[in-house]
Structure 1
Amino acid sequence: MSKIRLAAVAALVLVPAAASAQILQEKNISLGVAQELAQATVEACAAKNFNVTATVVDRAGLVRAVLRADRASPHTVEASRAKAYTAASARTNTTTIMENADKNPGARHLAAIEGFLLLGGGVPVKAGDEVIGAVGVGGAPGGHLDEECANAGLAKVQAKLK
C-alpha cells in the first residue's frame, strides 16, 4: 500500500512541472500584416505587368490572406498557396529547396509531401530570426520573378516585422 501512495504522491508532484514545460510562446504573422504583404506583393508584380496571386500563410502554413490580381489565371491561387506552405514548412525559400532537390536525388521525394510545391516564388516571413509565416506568389513568367515580387512585398512591410 505504501508503494502505491508513494507513486501517487510522486505523480502529483511531477504533473505541474510537466504541464508548465509544454507551454510555448511563438510569434506569428498578424492578419493586418498578412493583408498588407499580399497587397504589396501583388502591386510589385503589377508594376512589372505580371498578373499574380499572392498568398500569405502563418507559421503553421495556414492561410491568412489571399489576393488575386484581376487578370491572374485561376491556377495561380493554389500555386501561390502551395509555395507559401512549402516555404513556411521548410523555413526557407522555395527556390533554394528546388535547387537542393535538383542536386540531391533523395530530396526529390519532397515533392511527394502533400501540399509541397518545389517551384520558385515562396519566401518565409521572419521576425528577427524566427519564421512567422510565408508569402507565395504564382503567375509571373518564372518562379524567380514570383520570388522577386515576394521579396519586394516583404521589403514594404519589413518595419512591421520587428
Structure 2
Amino acid sequence: MRATATGVIALAMLLPVSAHAGDDALVTYKSLTPDVALEAAQSAMKKCRDDGYQVAVAVVDRFGQPQVLLRDRYAGLPAADIATAKAYTALSFRRDTSELAKMVRDGQMDANLARLPHIAMLAGGLVIETGGTLVGGIGISGAPGGDKDEACARAGLDAIRDKLDF
C-alpha cells in the first residue's frame, strides 16, 4: 500500500508539469471573423459614400494580412494599395496613422520609417482592438484628406464596436 501511495503522489506531481509544458507549445489568440471584418468595411464605405467620396477600404487581420478589401467604382487607382498600407501601418505601430503622421511631422519619429514596405504614414488607418487585444486594422483611401478617410474608418469601427467590446 505504501508503494501505491508513493506512486500516486509521484504521478500527481508529474501531471501539473506536463500540462504546463504543453501550455508553452501553443498560443491562443482572438481574431476577427470575416463577417465582422466585412461589416466594418461596408459601414466605412457607406459613411464615405454618404459624404460623397469614392474610396477603397481595407481590413487587415492581426497578422497584417488583408481580410477584406472593398473599392468603390470611381476610387483612384492607388486607393486600394494605400488603404491596405494604412491598415497595416496602424496595426504594425499599434497607433492610428493620423497620430503617426503627426509624430513624423513633429520630428518625434524618423521619417525614413515611411520608406519601409507596406507602410503609409498618412491619416486614415485605425487599429482594431477588443478587450485590450489588438485584432487588426482598418484603412481608408480616396477621400479628399486623411481626416475624412479617418472619419469613415471610425464609422466602420463604430458599427462593430458592440461585437468587439465585452
The CA deviation at 1:18 is: 5.4
CA contact under 8 A between 2:103 and 2:109: conserved in structure 1? no
CA distance in 1, matches of 2:160, 2:18: 43
Are 1:126 and 2:129 counterparts? yes
* Structure with bigger gyration radius: 2
Specify the alignment match of 1:44 in structure 2. Answer: 47
**Equivalent residues, number:** 149
Provide TM-score, normalisation by structure 1: 0.85
TM-superposition CA deviations, 1:89-108 (whole Å, max 9, x none) = 11111011111112226521
Are 1:104 and 2:107 counterparts? yes
Equivalent residue in structure 2 for 1:64, among 64, 67, 78:
67
Q: Specify every segment of 5 or more residues in structure 2 that has no aligned partner in the other structure, as ranges.
A: 1-16
> What root-mean-square deviation, in Å, do the aligned CA atoms of Structure 1 and Structure 2 show?
1.8
Equivalent residue in structure 2 for 1:53, among 56, 63, 69:
56
CA distance in 2, matches of 1:102, 1:28: 33
Matched residue type, 2:71: R
The CA deviation at 1:160 is: 1.2
Provide TM-score, normalisation by structure 2: 0.83
For 1:111, what is the secondary structure of its paired residue? helix
Matched residue type, 1:61: G
For 1:65, what is the secondary structure of its paired residue? strand
Specify the alignment match of 1:151 in structure 2. Answer: 154
Are 1:73 and 2:80 counterparts? no
Matched residue type, 1:100: M
Matched residue type, 2:139: G
CA distance in 2, matches of 1:17, 1:128: 25
CA distance in 2, matches of 1:61, 1:39: 19
For 1:89, what is the secondary structure of its paired residue? helix
The CA deviation at 1:135 is: 0.4
CA distance in 2, matches of 1:15, 1:112: 46
Specify the alignment match of 2:14 in structure 1. Answer: none
